[in-house]
Chain A
Amino acid sequence: AQKITQTQPGMFVQEKEAVTLDCTYDTSDQSYGLFWYKQPSSGEMIFLIYQGSYDEQNATEGRYSLNFQKARKSANLVISASQLGDSAMYFCAMRGGLSTGNQFYFGTGTSLTVIP
């Protein structure tokens, strides 16, 4: 069974500091994709970053990077130089392989608050 676990319901970070949001996953598929989405209070889901299971390099997108440790089945999101606008819910998601019909699975999310 596919499962995404985010163990931090809420996190606080000082403005301009870096923060790591944890995500672990469980899958029997050999090939899969990992995603992070941001959900501001408006509700819309905004795509942040993607990591493929066979990618050797950790993904980076501007201030976002993904710390991918395949053996540990973890895909932590690192936000550098936090800004007030980063305050939002963050969801880790996985797209499974053929065994799951390529469905997406989401974690329960982490609420990030950036403190001025």
Chain B
Amino acid sequence: DGGITQSPKYLFRKEGQNVTLSCEQNLNHDAMYWYRQDPGQGLRLIYYSQIVNDFQKGDIAEGYSVSREKKESFPLTVTSAQKNPTAFYLCASSMGSGAHNDEQYFGPGTRLTVT
């Protein structure tokens, strides 16, 4: 089955540690995205990538880093510089055609708790 996988579903870390969230897709999509969701809020864009080896900052990129070395993979690192990292993180992908009906497909999400 084609889709997006994120692992793990729940992640616990101590403050001051960097942590990497994985995102893999087998949909052959060019574009991939990372969002953060806090309670009572919508999704906020952290980073996105429209092609391998290229990515752009979203609205809340500070304290995060990404890489896009393979088409299928777009890992997100939450660094110790992120002031409030506890949140639900969603990865998404799309064909990347730029067409307005190019919907995003989402993974199941990773809930990160930092104490």
Closest B residue by C-beta to A111 = B40
Given the known inter-chain contacts A4-B42, A106-B42, please indicate yes or no for A95 contacting B105, CB distance below 8 A. Answer: no
Within 8 A of A (CB), among B20-54: 33, 35, 40-45, 48
Chain A nearest CB, measured from B54 CB (Å) = 12
Q: How many A-B residue pairs have CB under 8 A?
A: 61
Contact A104–B100 (Cβ < 8 Å): no
Alpha-carbon distance between A103 and B106 when the two chains are bound, in angstroms: 15
Given the known inter-chain contacts A33-B100, A44-B109, A91-B43, please indicate yes or no for A104 contacting B88, CB distance below 8 A. Answer: no
Best-buried of A42, A46, A102 by chain B (most CB within 10 Å): A102
B-chain residues with CB within 8 Å of residue A43 when the two chains form the complex: 88, 90, 108-109, 111
B63 close to chain A: CB less than 8 A: no
B2 close to chain A: CB less than 8 A: no
Chain B nearest CB, measured from A29 CB (Å) = 9
User: What is the interface residue range for chain B against chain A?
Assistant: 20 to 34
Chain A nearest CB, measured from B35 CB (Å) = 8
Chain B nearest CB, measured from A28 CB (Å) = 15
Q: Give the A interface residue count (CB, 8 A).
A: 28
Contact A47–B103 (Cβ < 8 Å): yes
B62 close to chain A: CB less than 8 A: no
Using a CB–CB cutoff of 8 Å, the interface residues on chain B facing chain A are: 33, 35, 40-45, 48, 56, 58, 88, 90, 92, 98-109, 111
Using a CB–CB cutoff of 8 Å, the interface residues on chain A facing chain B are: 4, 9, 31-33, 35, 37, 42-47, 50, 52-53, 91, 93, 95, 97, 101-104, 106-109
